């Protein structure tokens, strides 16, 4: 080991990279991490964390409207985007400091520079050349933007957190996680939102009935959807607004165009070929169950491997890598039953198999649903219904999946996911006494 400058060199200080670096160092490895942008990565700097804070901010729009039904005399309230934006950005800066301090406290050397591979154990870091016994690539992913004339006039979620003001009309390309989350945010800030998607499916991979419910509620709130539509051209108008031409529809006039059309692994210019690494057909770094590439000294975790593009998965991959390589505790990530959520308005969440996946795998399955108007929505006179689904194996009665949309769905699903992961049966749900009155009680009342 002494022949190398480091035992581990990590490229990218995002969720996966920082976990791997910190834990490897705690196991006694000499570790450096190179980050060319900001410590924390997508999740902390321009993803999950600031997004969730914006969602808290956005939800006051409906909460303030509902408050009147609960007896509060709410005067006309003004929303100040610069106040929320700056508070969120300073919280992000605070978290970045904590992330850096945690790495430093664990004796991880942070190098604020771009690192590229020169070979299986050699890297160029800024102007220096360094060697490392192992190299971990944790460079994440970057927004994928459709190619059409004028696409450069659009932004991505990267820029959405720093806008000078909230646009009056926004066109969002895509209908996945980011598109639906920002549709909810901008809509509650008063913008007119149009989602443009190439197919007629929103949130592919989620349960069909749950997705349909989000589409129905979003449409009722006034969010527009253009399906089977491809971007053709975007033009800037004299007044600074944009005219966005799409197939199958009149041009859309808007003040901001945002792309949420998927994210591609960050691999450009990394020098992967010097270690013999060839990308797969999705542009990701292929790895085995130990996150090892074809090169024995080079590993990769997180979005750059495009296994499941979720922060907690990248963190688990970083932890398993560190424990296996430096902690004498080899283990692998179990990708079964990973819960996920979309923080749309209302949010939805799911774990395990969807109804169609379960039918495809097992043939007949039992499906239990609860379609209800949450108590708070009833008094608020808000005509939005929640929907919970339990997908159950026809013979073993094992719960194969839980899918839900409604207030606090992600909070409720995280706890319910333990039951699915543990392989509990529908009977175990039935045996559990309801916690009344709650929305979550619907999970144990489906007969």
Q: Which residues bind ligand NDP (CB under 6 A)?
A: 146, 173-179, 181, 197-199, 201, 204, 260-263, 309-310, 340-343
Shortest distance, position 144 Cβ to ligand NDP, whole Å = 6
Which of left, alpha, beta for 425 (phi over 0: left; psi -120 to 50: alpha)?
beta
**Beta strand 109-111 with 31-34: parallel, antiparallel or unpaired?**
parallel
Least distance in angstroms from the C-beta of 253 to ligand NDP: 20
Q: Which 3 state secondary structure label does DSSP give 94?
A: helix
Find the shortest distance in angstroms from Cβ 147 to ligand NDP. Answer: 8
Structure-block tokens of residue 262: 């998927």
State the minimum distance, in angstroms, from the CB of residue 126 to ligand NDP: 29
Q: Rounded to the nearest whole angstrom, what is the least distance from the CB of residue 358 to ligand NDP in the complex?
A: 21
**Closest residue to bound ligand NDP by CB:** 176
Q: At what angle do helices 81-105 and 48-67 cross, to 10 degrees?
A: 140
Closer residue to ligand NDP (CB): 214 or 365: 214
Q: Which residue has the tokens 């709650």?
A: 438
Rg (the chain; Cα; Å): 24
Q: How far is residue 423's CA from residue 417's CA, in Å, rounded to a whole number?
A: 10
Catalytic pick among 192, 228, 403, 436: 436
H or E element that contains 320: helix 311-326
The tokens describing 362, both together, are 């097992």
Q: Which is nearer to ligand NDP, 103 or 314 (CB)?
A: 314
What tokens does 183 get?
Answer: 């549709």
Nearer residue to ligand NDP within complex by CB, 27 or 59? 59
Name the residue with tokens 């929320």.
84
Number of other residues whose CB lies within 10 A of the CB of residue 323? 17
Identify which of residues 197 and 324 has a Cβ nearer to ligand NDP in the complex: 197
**Closer by beta carbon to ligand NDP, 5 or else 317:** 317
Q: Is 403 a catalytic residue?
A: no
Write the DSSP assignment of 221-236 as a string of letters: HT-EEE-S--EEEEEE
Q: Among all residues, which ones are annotated catalytic? A: 436
């Amino acid at each position: 080991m002494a022949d190398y400058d480091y035992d581990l060199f990590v490229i990218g200080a995002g969720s996966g990279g920082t976990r791997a670096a910190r834990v490897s160092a705690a196991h006694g490895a000499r570790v450096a991490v190179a980050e060319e942008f900001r410590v924390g990565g997508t999740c902390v700097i321009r993803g999950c964390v600031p997004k969730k804070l914006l969602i808290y901010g956005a939800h006051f729009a409906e909460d303030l409207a509902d408050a009147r039904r609960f007896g509060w005399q709410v005067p006309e309230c003004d929303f100040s985007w610069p106040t929320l934006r700056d508070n969120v950005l300073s919280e992000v800066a605070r978290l970045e400091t904590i992330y850096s301090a945690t790495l430093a406290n664990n004796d991880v050397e942070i190098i604020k520079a771009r690192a590229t591979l020169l070979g299986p154990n050699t890297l160029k870091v800024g102007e220096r050349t360094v060697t490392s016994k192992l190299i971990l690539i944790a460079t994440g992913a970057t927004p994928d933007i459709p190619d059409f004339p004028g696409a450069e006039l659009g932004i991505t979620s990267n820029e959405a957190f720093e806008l000078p003001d909230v646009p009056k009309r926004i066109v969002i390309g895509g209908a996945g996680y980011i598109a639906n989350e920002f549709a909810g945010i901008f809509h509650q800030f008063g913008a007119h939102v149009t989602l443009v998607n190439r197919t007629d499916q929103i949130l592919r991979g989620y349960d069909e009935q749950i997705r349909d419910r989000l589409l129905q509620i979003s449409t009722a709130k006034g969010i527009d959807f253009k399906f089977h539509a491809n971007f053709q051209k975007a033009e800037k108008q004299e007044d600074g607004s944009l005219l966005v031409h799409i197939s199958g529809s009149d041009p859309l006039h808007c003040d901001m165009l945002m792309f949420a059309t998927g994210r591609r692994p960050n691999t450009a210019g990394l020098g992967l070929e010097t270690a013999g690494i060839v990308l797969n057909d999705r542009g990701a770094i292929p790895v085995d169950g130990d996150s090892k590439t074809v090169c024995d000294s080079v590993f990769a975790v997180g979005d750059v491997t495009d296994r499941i593009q979720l922060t907690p998965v990248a963190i688990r991959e970083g932890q398993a890598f560190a424990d296996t390589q430096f902690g004498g505790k080899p283990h692998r990530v179990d990708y079964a039953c990973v819960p996920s959520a979309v923080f749309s308005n209302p949010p939805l969440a799911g774990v395990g198999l969807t109804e169609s996946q379960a039918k495809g795998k097992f043939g007949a399955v039992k499906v239990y649903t609860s379609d209800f108007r949450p108590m708070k929505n009833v008094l608020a006179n808000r005509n939005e219904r929640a929907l919970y689904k339990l997908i159950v194996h026809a013979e073993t009665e094992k719960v194969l999946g839980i899918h839900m949309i409604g207030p606090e769905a992600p909070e409720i699903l995280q706890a319910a996911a333990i039951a699915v992961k543990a392989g509990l049966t529908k009977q175990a749900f039935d045996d559990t006494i309801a916690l009344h009155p709650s929305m979550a009680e619907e999970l144990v009342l489906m007969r």
